[in-house]
């Protein structure tokens, strides 16, 4: 499909805003952990279970939306999902205990998950060239990148001045604005396909057929495992920075944003380098570099005192390289897909968020009051994700 530069920018802004709502819903309420814990009379560790339920909701939601997007097109299901998100966000603001908040966060994630599937599907509908798909995904990451950079600072401000419940009213308002923008500016890219059946057996068969494609499975797993580094970081960083290094809520927001900026800068450097370097080659280079820095990270943690400055610099570099691996692994997983794009995008996203749900649970469970837990996860996840890419290269050499 032919598309002008202006149309690419508009598409990136729209899809980036939709996709950013998911991470914004996570990053903005991280500074509210202490306030939520105090309000409900629980520990901050218990509050982290609301992250786990959110990731489970996003993971399952994408599997549900995949076939719906393939049957009914991209735009209408996207707008319905955001409406569910708005209702759930208001419900979160009204929650009276942790259990209620955990449950409603699950439904909020179900609403947010449609944006992740629809965005990838729309890009795959619009572009045939694999390098172009990766570049567009990197452009969307630039828009998404505003979320982790400003969200904790915004969250800290609202928690301090209006209480943690105000965060969810703000999220509901943002979703309403995005939904109006979709109605006005987003064009349908796929249309209605009545031949697609929304029954369990054909849907399961569809997903199974996608999973049998070697390139999809191995690059999806590599991307999901590598991206789990981000989820381990998100679930432990409030405790590491505010409890171990004893930074203030405001400083936490700044440091979190700076580290997240590494992810965004990496995605944009990746977009530029893709003009000169082959997609598979660049991905492999980034993954090797990520593993080397991860090993340096753990060696430093055990051999010398790990001051805040060194911790943040090394974490910045890890997230910088993740900015390469994330969009590239996603593009490579969809490389051979011409049909069932919605199902493939859903599976891709579901694997990532399923891994994220597991990682937030494990990181919270094994957190021992030091940064070492997070750093070990970084090393292990970097190594395992690289193994999947190397296995793909071996089987296709």
pLDDT digits (tens, 9 = 90+) for 141-163: 666 667 767 787 888 889 989 99
Instruction: Tell me how many domains the chain contains.
Output: 1
pLDDT at 97: 92
Share of the chain above pLDDT 90, in %: 34
In a domain, 204, yes or no: no
Express each pLDDT in 214-256 by its tens digit.
888 899 999 999 989 988 998 888 889 988 898 887 788 788 8
Assess if residue 206 is contained within a domain: no
In a domain, 200, yes or no: no
Note whether residue 207 is domain-resident.
Answer: no
Residue 1 clears pLDDT 60, i.e. is over it: no
Give the residue with greater pLDDT, 122 vs 223. Answer: 223
What distance lies between CA 70 and its chain's CA centroid? 22
- Highest mean predicted confidence (pLDDT) among 139-143, 169-173, 183-187, 260-264: 169-173
- What integer pLDDT is reported at residue 133 of this predicted model? 75
Q: What is the CATH number of the domain that holds 138?
A: 1.20.1250.20
Residue 174, number of CB atoms within 10 A of its CB: 20
Residue 385 lies in a domain: yes
Does residue 343 carry a pLDDT above 80? no
Q: pLDDT at position 145, please?
A: 64
Range with the poorest average pLDDT among 1-15, 34-48, 287-301, 380-394? 1-15
Distance between first and last Cα of the chain: 32
Q: Distance (Å, rounded) from C-alpha 69 to C-alpha 344?
A: 11
Helices (H), 94-213: 98-126, 130-144, 146-162, 165-185, 200-211
| The pLDDT of residue 314 is above 90 | yes
On whether residue 232 sits in a domain, the answer given is yes
| pTM of this structure | 0.73
The answer to whether residue 374 is domain-embedded is yes
The whole-angstrom separation of Cα 320 and Cα 322 is 5
316, part of any domain: yes
Domain span at 228: 5-189+212-395
């Amino acid at each position: 499909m032919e598309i002008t530069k202006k149309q690419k920018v508009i598409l990136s802004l729209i899809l980036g805003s939709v996709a950013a709502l998911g991470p914004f819903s996570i990053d903005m309420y991280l500074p509210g952990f202490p306030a939520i814990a105090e309000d409900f009379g629980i520990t901050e560790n218990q509050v982290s279970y609301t992250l786990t339920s959110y990731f489970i909701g996003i993971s399952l939601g994408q599997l549900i939306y995949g076939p719906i997007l393939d049957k009914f097109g991209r735009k209408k299901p996207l707008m319905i999902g955001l409406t569910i998100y708005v209702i759930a966000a208001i419900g979160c603001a009204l929650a009276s205990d942790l259990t209620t908040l955990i449950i409603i966060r699950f439904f909020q994630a179900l609403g947010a998950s449609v944006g992740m599937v629809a965005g990838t599907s729309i890009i795959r509908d619009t572009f045939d060239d694999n390098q172009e798909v990766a570049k567009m995904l990197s452009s969307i990451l630039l828009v998404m990148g505003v979320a982790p950079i400003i969200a904790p600072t915004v969250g800290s401000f609202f928690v301090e001045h209006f209480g943690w419940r105000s965060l969810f009213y703000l999220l509901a308002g943002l979703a309403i604005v995005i939904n109006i923008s979709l109605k006005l500016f987003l064009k349908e890219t796929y249309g209605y396909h009545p031949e697609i059946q929304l029954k369990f057996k054909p849907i399961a068969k569809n997903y199974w057929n996608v999973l049998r494609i070697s390139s999809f499975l191995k690059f999806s797993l590599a991307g999901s495992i590598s991206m789990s580094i981000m989820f381990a970081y998100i679930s432990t960083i409030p405790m590491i920075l505010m409890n171990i290094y004893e930074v203030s809520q405001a400083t936490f927001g700044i440091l979190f944003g700076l580290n997240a900026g590494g992810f965004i800068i990496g995605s944009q450097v990746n977009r530029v380098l893709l003009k000169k370097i082959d997609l598979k080659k660049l991905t492999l280079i980034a993954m090797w570099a990520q593993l080397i820095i991860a090993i340096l990270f753990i060696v430093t943690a055990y051999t010398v005192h790990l001051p805040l400055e060194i911790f943040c610099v090394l974490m910045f570099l890890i997230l910088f390289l993740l900015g390469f691996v994330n969009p590239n692994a996603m593009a490579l997983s969809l490389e051979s897909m011409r049909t069932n794009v919605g199902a493939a995008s859903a599976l891709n996203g579901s694997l990532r968020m399923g891994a994220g749900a597991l990682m937030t649970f494990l990181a919270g469970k094994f957190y021992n009051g030091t940064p070492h837990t997070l750093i070990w996860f970084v090393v292990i996840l970097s190594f395992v994700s690289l193994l999947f890419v190397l296995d793909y290269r071996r089987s296709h050499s």
